[in-house]
């Protein structure tokens, strides 16, 4: 099992005819994702370079293909409307990869999305990941090398921009265990995946929630999903300065999570009041500092890595694998 997506998930790309949408649609296809088509208004009825059908609207695409997930690569000024269009069409998972979406646009979009979901059954609600995120991946067994000549046929499901080849399916992990990874940073997600793979761990699902101040899925919601997933043996959470998500997640972990958890918090040396990298990575009003997040996580029994180079080792320590000689 996994969370959010699996090998059977049918995926659309909104903005499929743009350069980034086209590039990453091809990458997802090579990984083995069931890409069903794309959406670009005014280009309905055409096909992209991969032979996928293009539709004018998300609703048309859903009705024709049965897709339940989408990735968004439209310009920032139109991204929030693309999110709402997908939700209105009944898409269950929306991964907005676009960076630079105006905060006020996202405030409006979140309010409208929450209103839509409030009137739906739990199974029919739309989950938003992002914006400004790498997406979501549930690895599958490797049957190729992630190139056009040798794609990962029927391997798993990748929605977004993450490099597929570094991920490891549980069946190929020397420990026979898979961890769930949730991160605000795309690059640190990839580093955590590489490090856990090198230590004999697979990944059940990796979720890049994005670094914007107003976004969809957060650490807490993702950790709840991982805790309920029988394939996920441990959880690696990567946070950063700004906001209180990590402290809230720590409180939930302490009270409810039985699985081993490791974490890393980026931005320990960032000065207050100065934005560092992500739009949401800023210490303001005395809140959002790295020290308070680390203290809350340690108090919850989380194994906290002191350096990004230690994330995989911290996960191995939390799972008791280093002491047994595995993953060291």
The 10 Å Cβ neighbour count of residue 300 is: 19
Which of 163, 87, 152, 142 is closest to 118 using CA atoms?
87
CB count, 10 Å around CB of 118? 8
Please give the positions annotated as active site: 278
Q: Rounded to an integer, what distance in angstroms lies between the CA atom of residue 294 and that of residue 219?
A: 15
User: What are 54's two structure tokens?
Assistant: 């293009």
Largest CA distance in the chain: 59
- Contacts of 12 by beta carbon, 8 Å cutoff, 6+ apart: 35, 36, 37, 38, 39, 58, 61, 62, 65, 67, 69, 70, 71, 86, 91
Cα(176)–Cα(226) distance, integer angstroms: 17
Residue 278 has a pLDDT of: 52
Sheet containing strand 69-72, strands side by side: 54-55, 34-39, 10-14, 69-72, 93-96, 127-129
pLDDT tens, the chain, 328 aa long: 699 999 999 999 999 999 999 999 999 999 999 999 999 999 999 999 999 999 999 999 999 999 999 999 999 999 999 999 999 999 999 999 999 999 999 999 999 999 999 999 999 999 999 999 999 999 998 877 666 666 665 578 999 999 998 999 999 999 999 999 999 988 999 999 999 999 999 999 999 999 898 999 999 999 999 999 999 999 999 998 877 889 999 999 999 999 999 999 987 766 665 555 555 444 444 456 788 899 999 999 999 999 999 999 999 999 999 754 444 4
Residue 269: count other Cβ atoms within 10 Å of its Cβ.
Answer: 8
Residue 119 burial (C-beta neighbours within 10 Å; 0-12, 13-18, 19+): exposed
Report d(CA 100, CA 158) in Å as an integer: 22
Interatomic CA distance for residues 3 and 286, integer angstroms = 35
CA distances for 44 relative to 56, 60, 89, 132, angstroms: 5, 9, 16, 27
Going along the chain from its start, the domains and CATH numbers come out as 10-129 (3.40.50.720), 168-318 (3.40.50.261)
């Amino acid at each position: 099992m996994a969370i959010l997506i699996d090998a059977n998930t049918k995926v659309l790309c909104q903005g499929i005819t743009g350069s980034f949408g086209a590039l990453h649609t091809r990458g997802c296809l090579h990984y083995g994702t069931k890409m069903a088509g794309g959406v670009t208004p005014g280009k309905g009825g055409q096909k992209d370079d991969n032979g996928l059908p293009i539709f004018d609207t998300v609703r048309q695409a859903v009705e024709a293909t049965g897709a339940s997930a989408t990735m968004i690569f439209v310009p920032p000024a139109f991204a929030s409307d693309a999110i709402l269009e997908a939700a209105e069409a009944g898409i269950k998972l929306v991964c907005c990869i676009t960076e630079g979406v105006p905060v006020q646009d996202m405030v409006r979009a979140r309010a409208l999305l929450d209103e839509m979901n409030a009137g739906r059954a739990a199974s029919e609600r739309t989950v938003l990941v992002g914006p400004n995120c790498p997406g979501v991946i549930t690895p599958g067994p490797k049957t190729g090398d992630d190139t056009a000549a040798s794609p990962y046929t029927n391997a798993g499901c990748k929605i977004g921009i993450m490099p597929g080849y570094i991920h490891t399916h549980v069946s190929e992990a020397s420990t026979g265990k898979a961890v769930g990874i949730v991160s605000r940073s795309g690059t640190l997600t990839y580093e955590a995946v590489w490090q856990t793979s090198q230590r004999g761990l697979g990944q059940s699902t990796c979720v890049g929630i994005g670094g914007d101040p107003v976004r969809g899925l957060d650490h807490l919601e993702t950790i709840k999903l991982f805790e309920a997933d029988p394939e996920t043996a441990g959880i690696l959470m990567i946070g950063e300065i700004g906001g209180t998500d990590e402290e809230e997640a720590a409180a939930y972990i302490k009270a409810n999570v039985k699985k081993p958890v490791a974490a890393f918090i980026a931005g320990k040396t960032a000065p207050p009041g100065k934005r560092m990298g992500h739009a949401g990575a800023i210490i303001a009003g005395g809140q959002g500092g790295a020290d308070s997040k680390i203290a809350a996580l340690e108090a919850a029994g989380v194994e906290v890595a002191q350096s990004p180079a230690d994330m995989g080792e911290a996960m191995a320590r939390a799972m008791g694998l280093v002491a047994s000689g595995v993953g060291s």
